[in-house]
């Protein structure tokens, strides 16, 4: 698509990085606004958590990248430190314990804040997938459908180039933003703290399982060759755990009534 946003002399701004940064700024702003309104957060409190999540997200995203294709990155270590290339689940599963620790340390209502963080995650992730589309990573399989997109820029990571591919990045971005809207609507009528976050995990996991069937970047790894990808397996685990906690929290809330 359009991997380079613009170049000025020796300075190159990549579209992928731009959309990641845009999502992070918007998500961080939303987190600070909701935190301040509901829990009296200071800017420093929100900013510190924001920085910790960025560091943890980058580390976890890169770590899972190696996990999905260890032999490739063992022989191409330079690719690991390129601007592109993160595994979302790696970032998410690293961010969750950081949030839990931070909320407990600062005596912030954990479940209520996790509900806010579900929206924050949608914002960051949704814009991040637009960046993926521009960079050509996370591309789809070949298709003759109306939705097919042809990647031709030599800097794009999509492969093969010059043929219509499923724009799985846009599929996921649209899905995430629609999910965010649904979560915002549920927020107004939620029955218990933690409901929004658990809904987010369950619905995203189901959507990710479906989208994975249209993915064409097979180097991301399979647990069962050509049948179950690493991300699908993680999605199944995430859905199961989120469902368990959803039922548990819901029963606890009903018991108190």
Interval 206-247: pLDDT, tens: 999 999 989 887 666 666 666 688 888 899 999 999 999 999
pTM > 0.85:
yes
Task: Return the H-helix or E-strand segment holding 110.
Answer: helix 110-135
CB-based burial label for 58 (10 Å; 0-12, 13-18, 19+): middle
Q: Domain range for residue 8?
A: 4-256
List C-alpha distances in Å: 96 to 37, 121, 205, 234. 22, 11, 15, 15
Look at the chain and report how many structural domains it folds into: 1
Which of 49, 190, 198, 196 has its CA nearest to residue 116?
196
Tell me which residue has tokens 């997938």.
129
pLDDT per position as a tens digit, 67-88: 666 665 555 565 555 555 678 8
Total residue count of the chain as it appears in this document: 257
């Amino acid at each position: 698509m359009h991997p380079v946003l613009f170049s000025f002399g020796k300075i190159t701004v990549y579209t992928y990085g731009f959309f990641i940064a845009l999502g992070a700024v918007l998500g961080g702003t939303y987190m600070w606004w909701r935190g301040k309104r509901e829990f009296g957060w200071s800017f420093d409190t929100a900013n510190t958590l924001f920085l910790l999540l960025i560091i943890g997200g980058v580390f976890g995203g890169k770590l899972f990248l190696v996990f999905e294709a260890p032999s490739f990155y063992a022989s191409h270590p330079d690719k690991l430190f390129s601007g592109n290339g993160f595994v979302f689940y790696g970032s998410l599963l690293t961010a969750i314990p950081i949030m839990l620790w931070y909320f407990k340390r600062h005596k912030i209502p954990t479940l209520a804040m996790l509900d806010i963080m579900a929206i924050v995650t949608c914002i960051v992730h949704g814009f991040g997938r637009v960046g993926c589309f521009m960079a050509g990573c996370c591309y789809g399989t070949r298709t003759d459908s109306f939705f097919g997109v042809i990647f031709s820029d030599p800097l794009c990571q999509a492969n093969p180039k010059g043929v219509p591919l499923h724009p799985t990045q846009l599929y996921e971005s649209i899905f995430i933003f629609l999910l965010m809207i649904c979560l915002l609507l549920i927020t107004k009528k939620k029955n218990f703290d933690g409901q929004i976050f658990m809904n987010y995990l369950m619905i995203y996991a189901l959507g990710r399982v479906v989208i994975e069937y249209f993915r064409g970047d097979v180097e991301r790894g399979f647990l069962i060759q050509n049948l179950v990808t690493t991300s699908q397996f993680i999605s199944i685990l995430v859905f199961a755990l989120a469902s368990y906690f959803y039922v548990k929290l819901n029963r606890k809330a009903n018991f108190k009534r």
